[in-house]
Structure 1
Amino acid sequence: MTDQPTTRDGFAEPFLLEVLASGGLDAAYVRAEGNTLYRRGEDGEEIAVLDFVGGYGSLMLGHNNPEINDRARELLDRQTPVHAQFSRHPYADELAAELNRIVQRERGDDESYYAIFANSGAEAVEAAMKHAELDRGLRLSALTEEIDAHLEEVRARVADGTATVPPRVAGSADELIADVRRRNEEQLARGPLFLTPEGAFHGKLAGSVQLTHNPGYRLPFKSLAAQARFVPRDQPGALRKIVDEERPHLLDLVVEGGRVQVVERDHPLFTAFVLEPVQGEGGIHELSAEFVAEVQEVCAEARIPVVVDEIQSGMGRTGSFLAATRLGLKGDYYTLAKSLGGGIAKSAVLLVRKPLYHGQFELAHSSTFAKDAFSCLIGLKVLEIMEADDGAVYRRAAERGERLLGMLRSVRADFPETVRDVRGRGLMLGLEFRDQSDATADPLRQVARSGFFGYFVAGHILREHRVRVFPTSSAVNTLRFEPSVYVTDEEIDRLEAALRDVCAIIRDTDGARLAPIG
């Protein structure tokens, strides 16, 4: 397949449409409710498709949730303003206050967070990156000003005879000060670095894509923004080693006992550590408690703020409002999106821990549609539903997740030569197929080597079973399952039948039924 698009169906991302068509995934849907999408057949009749993609995790409460739709109609009928920028937004403050209440409950403390609103998860990550860099820049500026003051103090004290420069240090105060400035300028010329785990995905915008491990997404745009160091998830001590190797020092001068001494000062090179408690697009990998503990310890010691990306894993999907809760992971920043919009509003938020917050950021960063009444009031309705009955939605997500996970484990047990792993938490689960790149049958081998294996599997499941699944974007051998909290046993059973069918095809045939369709 070439990377030159055709005009098969118009001008809206034609190359992507060709990719979808090659796997039989180019269905056009006309209606949606609950866990079901509808497309039209050739006779015009609706065809129901069971949806386990769930808007990539955006539909915790299902397609067109009646309570949310009723609230939306009410807001539209009363002509709620959307474009009232640069005015008071009491509904945004109410949403931020409710988010604070929930986050404080989950963290088990009274830490407060200020809110910066956005339109998408990637934009919330960009805002986190920018705010963390603003904070780093202000700290670095204060440090360099302090060092400059010390250098001038040394110059003055040597001049008035109250301090001397030891011969082993330098020939004169001016030479020493010039050498310190030169070496500090070399260090200050280094660009900032972010830290993030291997397998991370935080978006595809100019900044956030630098935190996305997949080189196909990141490397073409490497020169556009600050770079990241990717930390192995399964190597204890790897983070500390990276920080120790990369962390530079600035030089400073102090006077002790009348003698000038050269001392080292920590240079805040690292802007932030950004991580997902459960990696979504990287293949549905939950971080280990051991890895999280090392992140918290090293980042606290080195004063590196922690950004917890809950865009896909948050909003109750893993059985608690934040997936970080179970891991004991506490962030200086949190990003939330996807299900915050209830499946109809495009909404996201960055939460910044109060002691780190800088008010000037609100003028340095803005977004046209962020903080509008419609999306904020929908967000409040979403939280109301999730918090009702003492968090019944969270309990149901955990219970439904266990039911779904049990089914996936059963499939794996019956097809060990086909299924490599099953993993995840709550309603954020993945099934990883074994690599078929060296399969004996040519059709199966070609499909596996195409780079679109999971999409061809998904295409077969859609065509033959009318069940919609997708692989994760950076691990195409892993199918994701992120249905709404209202997923039923019957729907899980339908998915099981589809998975067993495709596993048998991979195990027992040449795989031709999975090959691209004409």
Structure 2
Amino acid sequence: MTITGLAEPFLRAQLESLGLAVEYVRAEGDTLYRRGDDGRELPVLDLVGGFGATILGHNHPEILALAQELLSARVPVHAQFSLHPYAETVARRLNEILHRDTGDPGPYTAVFANSGAEAVEAAVKHAELDRGLKAAELLARIDEETDRARRAVRDGAVLSAAARRLADGGDFESLAAALTAANRARAEEPPVLLALTGGFHGKLVGSVQLTHNPVVREPFRALAAPCRFVPAEDPAALAAAIAEEHRTALGLTVSDGTVDLAEHRLPRLCALVLEPVQGEGGVRPLTAGYARELQRICAEADCPIVVDEVQSGMGRTGSFLASSAIGLRGDYYVLAKSLGGGLAKAAVMLVHHRRHRPGFELLHSSTFAKDAFSTLIAARTLDLLEADGGARYRQAAERGERILARLEGIRDDFKDVVADVRGRGLMLGLELRDQGDSTSPALRELSRAGVLGYAAAGYLLHAHALRVFPTASATTTLRIEPSVHITDPQIAQAESGLRALCDLLRTQDGDRLLAR
């Protein structure tokens, strides 16, 4: 038996069929260098940016120098269960930024992780801990109410008609037993997680349940608590979903010598998880009006909001948090990707003090999280973003506006090919029209197979030295996520390549799309 040693042979075959099976050997700024057939390095303009991880570009000189310095100094990666002053510095800095951007003084407690999906799961785990403890506290209060009512009955109080109906035997102890059984049965119902249609929050066992795309979610739906999806930009649908999941626990009150039933809201909503700009769902920003209504509805239902800023945060959309630009405040924030400066695997979950449960980090931990190397790089990344009064945020907005204007020009010139252009800052998307009815057999087949965007990426790579990818759940939308340092000549190169792609689609030249 021969062992080939290939990692993910299926994926490799897919990459080869789409012209994406290339090896990148070096990276700098917005340029990746791939190895050519003759061994030479060929520059490629990278508009994927590590799916949003390189807001400062590949191998930023200051981040690279710090990484080399830390490795030479042999800073510990594994010093678990000890003081982590560097992580505390990052947490303090993030609190300052959140206070400035949201107006909420917090504070937020930071729980560190290695990836966005892991940090999302930490947020959901914490929200469930908080929900479970609140439910237990409610049941304990109801037990106290029951004891008070028991004493009142001994002193001559009588049961109301509603209480007698619940008490099958008619006496108080039958009532107390029925009440306890009903409350515990309701409290043991699984929690309700809410997320928006089109959302993407990872592919781990828990986070994949929050990812709307059924292709990646449904094979694993039996492994964790399911999620209820509600359409984005539809406050009425969110309110209706929350109302349907409302549960009550029954307690007892004593008034004027009568023991009666009392309803208490039973905590059942674990959290609503959302992205202020849906990345893998096709680069779709939420509106300020929807954010305002969403905030109100969740506050009334005591449903915590987990704001997933893994791809949209760290200044990518022109402000540190994309959510702050639309007035959305989270009980939890999740940051990752660019937090590591494009080099370190760093992520963090931030939980507001009004929700925080002390001791959570004893229940949730990660071997490589919060180490000196990743948190020192995260701290330097924050310093670079915040330098000169947040000049890089303004730079992201300006560069994004320039690119967006070029994309809108392409859309206007190719309305038969481009369905939409959208996004904010340096998180942009160009949506191609479906080619399922194309006169080209190749385009027709690619479109119906859902890989037209990937084939377009292969064409742009080989014909125009451009690296783009479609978004995962909306594969006709090409993502544009460069660093803040993208230059005017690079923007012109991107425009030229995208125009050539649109011209090819307009002329239905499927053979040229697949030529390598």
**What is the rounded CA distance, in whole Å, between the counterparts of 2:449 and 2:69 in structure 1?**
49
Cross-structure match for 2:228? 229
Match status 1:123 vs 2:118 = yes
Cross-structure match for 1:372? 371
Cross-structure match for 1:385? 384
Answer whether contact 1:158 1:165 (CA < 8 A) is retained: no
Q: How does 1:315-330 map to 2 (within 5 A)?
A: 315-330=314-329
Alpha-carbon displacement from aligned partner over 1:97-129 (angstroms, at most 9, x marks no partner): 111111111012322111111111111101001
Which amino acid letter does the alignment assign opposite residue 97 of structure 1?
Answer: R
Match status 1:136 vs 2:135 = no
Answer whether contact 2:30 2:47 (CA < 8 A) is retained: yes
Answer whether contact 1:52 1:469 (CA < 8 A) is retained: yes
**What is the rounded CA distance, in whole Å, between the counterparts of 1:9 and 1:426 in structure 2?**
44
**What is the rounded CA distance, in whole Å, between the counterparts of 1:62 and 1:451 in structure 2?**
30
Alpha-carbon displacement from aligned partner over 1:127-164 (angstroms, at most 9, x marks no partner): 00111110001000001111122223323322331343
- Residues 477, 9 of structure 1: alpha-carbon distance in 2 compared, 3 angstrom cutoff: farther
**What is the rounded CA distance, in whole Å, between the counterparts of 2:159 and 2:495 in structure 1?**
80
**What is the rounded CA distance, in whole Å, between the counterparts of 2:254 and 2:365 in structure 1?**
46
Cross-structure match for 2:64? 69
**What is the rounded CA distance, in whole Å, between the counterparts of 2:177 and 2:79 in structure 1?**
54
**What is the rounded CA distance, in whole Å, between the counterparts of 1:168 and 1:371 in structure 2?**
54
**What is the rounded CA distance, in whole Å, between the counterparts of 2:216 and 2:46 in structure 1?**
26
Alpha-carbon offset, residue 27 of structure 1: 0.7
Match status 1:59 vs 2:54 = yes
**What is the rounded CA distance, in whole Å, between the counterparts of 2:236 and 2:105 in structure 1?**
31
The answer to which of 223-232 and 129-138 deviates more is 223-232
Cross-structure match for 1:4? none
In structure 1, runs of 5+ residues without a counterpart are 1-6
Alpha-carbon displacement from aligned partner over 1:20-46 (angstroms, at most 9, x marks no partner): 111100110000100001112222211
Cross-structure match for 1:347? 346
Aligned mate of 1:94, from 74, 81, 89: 89
Cross-structure match for 1:12? 7
**What is the rounded CA distance, in whole Å, between the counterparts of 1:246 and 1:172 in structure 2?**
32
Aligned mate of 1:23, from 18, 24, 46: 18
Answer whether contact 1:447 1:514 (CA < 8 A) is retained: no
Cross-structure match for 1:46? 41
Alpha-carbon offset, residue 262 of structure 1: 1.5
Cross-structure match for 1:289? 288
Which amino acid letter does the alignment assign opposite residue 263 of structure 2?
Answer: E
**What is the rounded CA distance, in whole Å, between the counterparts of 1:311 and 1:484 in structure 2?**
15
Cross-structure match for 1:186? 185
The answer to which of 135-144 and 220-229 deviates more is 220-229
**What is the rounded CA distance, in whole Å, between the counterparts of 2:286 and 2:197 in structure 1?**
11
Aligned mate of 1:112, from 103, 107, 118: 107
* SS in structure 1 of the partner of residue 161 of structure 2: coil
RMSD: 1.6
- Residues 53, 183 of structure 1: alpha-carbon distance in 2 compared, 3 angstrom cutoff: same
Which amino acid letter does the alignment assign opposite residue 83 of structure 1?
Answer: H
Answer whether contact 2:457 2:469 (CA < 8 A) is retained: yes
Cross-structure match for 2:242? 243
* SS in structure 1 of the partner of residue 132 of structure 2: helix
The answer to which of 113-122 and 179-188 deviates more is 179-188
Q: How does 1:180-219 map to 2 (within 5 A)?
A: 180-219=179-218
Of all paired residues, the percent bearing the same amino acid is 55
The answer to which of 206-215 and 146-155 deviates more is 146-155
In structure 2, runs of 5+ residues without a counterpart are none
Alpha-carbon offset, residue 263 of structure 1: 2.0
Alpha-carbon offset, residue 225 of structure 1: 1.4
Alpha-carbon offset, residue 516 of structure 1: 8.7
Match status 1:162 vs 2:152 = no
- Residues 436, 149 of structure 1: alpha-carbon distance in 2 compared, 3 angstrom cutoff: same
Alpha-carbon offset, residue 396 of structure 1: 0.3
Q: How does 1:294-309 map to 2 (within 5 A)?
A: 294-309=293-308
Answer whether contact 1:456 1:516 (CA < 8 A) is retained: no
- Residues 9, 275 of structure 1: alpha-carbon distance in 2 compared, 3 angstrom cutoff: farther
Q: How does 1:143-158 map to 2 (within 5 A)?
A: 143-158=138-153
Alpha-carbon displacement from aligned partner over 1:292-328 (angstroms, at most 9, x marks no partner): 1122111111111111111100000000111011100
Cross-structure match for 1:278? 277
**What is the rounded CA distance, in whole Å, between the counterparts of 1:169 and 1:493 in structure 2?**
78
Which amino acid letter does the alignment assign opposite residue 38 of structure 2?
Answer: D
Cross-structure match for 1:488? 487
Which amino acid letter does the alignment assign opposite residue 372 of structure 2?
Answer: A
Which amino acid letter does the alignment assign opposite residue 177 of structure 1?
Answer: A
Cross-structure match for 1:439? 438
The answer to which of 122-131 and 498-507 deviates more is 498-507
Which amino acid letter does the alignment assign opposite residue 503 of structure 1?
Answer: C
**What is the rounded CA distance, in whole Å, between the counterparts of 1:165 and 1:328 in structure 2?**
48
Which amino acid letter does the alignment assign opposite residue 290 of structure 1?
Answer: G
**What is the rounded CA distance, in whole Å, between the counterparts of 2:513 and 2:186 in structure 1?**
54
Alpha-carbon offset, residue 510 of structure 1: 4.3
- Give me the TM-score of the superposition, normalised by structure 1: 0.96
**What is the rounded CA distance, in whole Å, between the counterparts of 2:214 and 2:8 in structure 1?**
22
Answer whether contact 1:447 1:515 (CA < 8 A) is retained: no
Alpha-carbon offset, residue 468 of structure 1: 0.3
* SS in structure 2 of the partner of residue 355 of structure 1: coil
Alpha-carbon displacement from aligned partner over 1:59-93 (angstroms, at most 9, x marks no partner): 00001101111111111222211111111111111
**What is the rounded CA distance, in whole Å, between the counterparts of 1:139 and 1:438 in structure 2?**
55
**What is the rounded CA distance, in whole Å, between the counterparts of 1:346 and 1:9 in structure 2?**
30
Answer whether contact 1:23 1:516 (CA < 8 A) is retained: no
Which amino acid letter does the alignment assign opposite residue 327 of structure 1?
Answer: I
Alpha-carbon offset, residue 209 of structure 1: 0.7
Answer whether contact 1:165 1:173 (CA < 8 A) is retained: no
- Give me the TM-score of the superposition, normalised by structure 2: 0.96
